[in-house]
Amino acid sequence: MESPVVVITGASSGIGEATARLLAGQGARLVLGARRADRLDALAAELGGEVRTRATDVRRRDDVAALVDLAVSTFGRLDVFVANAGVAHVGGLDTQTVEDWDEMIDVNLRGVLHGVAAALPVFRAQSAGHLVAIVSTSGLRIVPDQVVYAATKNAVRTLCEGLRQEAGPHLRVTAVSPGFTATEFVDTVADPARRREYQERMAEIAMPPDAIARAVAYAMAQPAGVDVGEIVVRPTAQN
């Protein structure tokens, strides 16, 4: 694909940031969204080239629509929407709050749906497009304390397969499932003891976020007639 136009949500750190770096290095034109606009702007300044940013909360439909509008108004098209923004609250179903569940549903599922709502009409008008969703191996091997998180990720996996069937031949849909990846993700675990546990485990086995960026780039790089449906990437040491 010649200099694709790519929107990435959650590009202010971790996997989203690594994906932005890799794709920028390959000549992609980027529109980056997340709540921490200062981090997006610093990244854009570092990358140079054709990168735009916009403060975006994926829980807000209008924010995500504005991100897609920015891509189209700036670059004239949208080739790939990477739905990467995500949050996890760790804990048992009897200890988590309904607010924890709501946030995971709102960011991890509703946020992706906002991306679909914004990008699909553009893809349809172009008769071409690619939705890449970052899901999780948590949805493949369900572990205690991550049940609602896994449910949101599996809901997105279901959405991807349904979208693929509904949208027809012009749309490519890829669900990328990362295993344990060294990002700021575990720093948000609320319980200090659990947080330390996750951070230690991360230091032991996690893979760099670039491993996931390469999976996204691989799916994008296939010829238009080849749709990579799912990619699972784990650290070799992850069970």
- Annotated active-site residue 198? The verdict is no
Q: Does 72 bind ligand NDP (CB under 6 A)?
A: no
Member of 19, 53, 56, 146 binding ligand NDP (CB under 6 A): 56
Phi-psi region of 3 (alpha: psi -120 to 50; beta: other; left: phi over 0): left
* Residue 12 to residue 55: CA distance in whole angstroms: 10
Choose between 102 and 184: whose C-beta lies nearer to ligand NDP: 184
* Residue 75 to residue 22: CA distance in whole angstroms: 19
Query: Residue 122 to residues 80, 158, 229: CA-CA distances in angstroms?
Result: 11, 22, 21
* Residue 165 to residue 159: CA distance in whole angstroms: 10
Member of 91, 115, 129, 178 binding ligand NDP (CB under 6 A): 178
Q: Does 201 bind ligand NDP (CB under 6 A)?
A: no
Member of 32, 72, 134, 189 binding ligand NDP (CB under 6 A): 134
Member of 6, 32, 34, 131 binding ligand NDP (CB under 6 A): 34
Nearest to 87 by CA among 149, 11, 159: 149
Find the Cα–Cα–Cα–Cα dihedral 175, 179, 185, 189, rounded to 10°.
Answer: 120
CB of 124 to ligand NDP, least distance (A): 25
Active-site position among 75, 149, 180, 185: 149
Report, as residue numbers or ranges, the catalytic residues: 149
Give the footprint of ligand NDP on this chain (CB under 6 A): 9-10, 12-16, 34-36, 56-59, 84-88, 107, 134, 136, 178, 180-181, 183-185, 209
